[in-house]
Amino acid sequence: MQQNKQAYIYAGMAIVFWSTIPTAFKTALAEAPVLTILTIASLVSAIILFVIVIITGKLSQLKATTPRDLRTSALLGLINPFAYYLILLRAYDLLPAQVAQPLNMIWPIVLVFLSVPLLGQKIPARSFISLFISFAGVYIIASQGTPFNPGKSDTLGVLLATGSSILWSLYFIMNVRDKRDQAVKLFVNFSIASLYLITATVITGTPLFSTGIKGILASAYTGVFEMGLTFYLWLRAMQLATTNDKIGNLVYLTPFLSLVFIHFIIDEPVYYTTIIGLVLIISGIIFQNRNRG
């Protein structure tokens, strides 16, 4: 019982931290370019993950990294955080935070469809129903309060936010196949991705630390609470939980809690369509996972 209580505490902390990230994204984007934000966040995340590797006694596993592991991490790091967050941050740059975040949440359904060509799985009929329900939610959220007058949201932003779910699903499948310790492989992934990002800043002439202190702090915050520490808290929650299903379902609280931070910190008016659309997207995901396995 005590172990399960600890699992809920870890999960609750992770959900609170994740729910602040859309606000952090918009704060950083008001001060710095996308590439600068992601480079700082990736570097900070790599440092946090390295500390986790050390305090959890996984340093020997890190030292055992093989050339094949490095090649795998080079590909995974290219997908996430490099490509995935570049696309997602650009979506946040074009859309209100309350629109960008939930549009990215359709990835569990996208994952099912990608599992057909990549894992040879069959698509159950409910997946098509789930996809329809969730995309109805996407449409409603993108309307930004005017469901009968579509086109208010930036079209490119909507495509980027929803399209990023494809990259995340692809990363998820490849990450599951990689049997290394989670903290170890993520540290290597983020370290290599940081090299990609630093190279990109040099090639494009993007300033790294010449942005304002507010932008740097918001970017560093993202590295800690989106990619680094919060991952460890969530992993611990899943390890300690007696049933992962109940803990896993708590993550659906995140976008609703995010609306509180978005409204009171960056002063976005919350559209009623955002809440309705979120309910539809999450309903589609839950329906997809009903009686799974």
- Predicted local confidence at residue 268, as pLDDT: 92
As a whole number, mean pLDDT of residues 58-71 equals 96
Question: What tokens does 89 get?
Answer: 């941050």
- Predicted local confidence at residue 237, as pLDDT: 84
Number of structural domains (the chain) is 1
> In terms of C-beta distances under 8 Å and separation of at least 24 residues, what long-range contacts does 48-51 make, across chains too?
48/223, 48/224, 48/227, 48/228, 48/229, 49/183, 49/186, 49/187, 49/190, 49/228, 49/231, 50/187
Could you tell me the pTM of the whole model? 0.89
- Predicted local confidence at residue 1, as pLDDT: 56
- pLDDT one-digit tens code per residue, 155-192: 999 999 999 999 998 998 888 788 899 889 999 999 99
Give the domain range for residue 215: 2-289
Q: Give the Cα separation of 100 and 94 in Å (integer).
A: 9
**What is residue 269's DSSP assignment?**
P
